[in-house]
Amino acid sequence: MLSYRHAFHAGNFADVLKHLVLAKTIQYMTQKPVAIRYIDTHAGSGCYPLNSAMSQKTGEYETGAGALKKLLQKAPFAPYGSVLKQHLAAGKYPGSPQIAVDLLRAHDQLYLHEMHPTDFSLLGKWAGSDRRIRVAQSDGHQALKSLLPAVKGRALVLMDPSFEMKQEYLQAISSLEAGYKRMPNATFLLWYPVVQRNQIDKMISRLRSTPLRDVWQFEFCRTPDTKDHGMTGSGILAINPPWTLAGELSDLLPQIKASIAPAEGHWRVENLIPE
């Protein structure tokens, strides 16, 4: 859908989970010298000014990363905390492309996809002359067919659809399955919102019928599930994540809960499908 603009939501509590997981994953993968192909299927505009009209309209940063700023600077939250600190000093919140650019190396590649014409234009300007980056105004789901498998044998895929339409939940799993079949040793991170739990249950049920293995679910919610409209939390379905990630999140998510949702918040770290 072309109505979604992430600038309204940049730095909210759902971004904290997504970007914490992304940063930890890149940190682990870059321990090996072989080049990584990073693919972002729904990249947005790269980096987001916090003084923009869109950010000011919702104020979601203030109840997300803004409320956790001191906590995220602690060593266990690195490298997400250090990237965040750098860009907050310039009045901006780093989106997933910015985090990837800051943490990946000179010989890694980034393929960023964004359909929204305004955000695509902003993304291109943000990318500038960085030779590692390829920006395309195209369907990121379809792009996986041409970008996987990676020549060097290592790939990290972040899938972050808007989920404005119910069919996007199953579409995301189909895309994930197609990418996995092309490169089963790649690492995939699929972010999802917790709005209606039945949609997530359907997505996981569909996932269990695929050949995917080593599948984990990481989730953080500020309030209990509700049938009313509105996002109560978010999660990530991770395929082939770093073996250290589950333990790290089991330590970090309770700290996030205690800081912004001590009464009703809940979190989940679960191995849905073993290796």
Active site residues: 160
Taking a C-beta distance cutoff of 8 angstroms, is the pair 94, 47 a contact? yes
Could you give the CA distance from residue 65 to residue 72 in angstroms, rounded to a whole number?
Answer: 8
Could you give the CA distance from residue 188 to residue 133 in angstroms, rounded to a whole number?
Answer: 19
Taking a C-beta distance cutoff of 8 angstroms, is the pair 143, 180 a contact? no
Pairing of strands 37-40, 266-273: unpaired
Residue with tokens 């997505």: 203
Taking a C-beta distance cutoff of 8 angstroms, is the pair 140, 113 a contact? yes
Rounded to 5°, angle at Cα 137 from 131 and 139: 115
Dihedral, CA atoms, 95, 149, 172, 268, nearest 10 degrees? -70
Could you give the CA distance from residue 205 to residue 199 in angstroms, rounded to a whole number?
Answer: 10
271: CB partners within 8 A, 6+ apart: 215, 216, 246
H or E stretch at 262: none
Write phi, then psi, for 36 (nearest 5 degrees): -110, 135
3-state secondary structure of 9: coil
Terminal Cα distance for the chain, rounded: 34
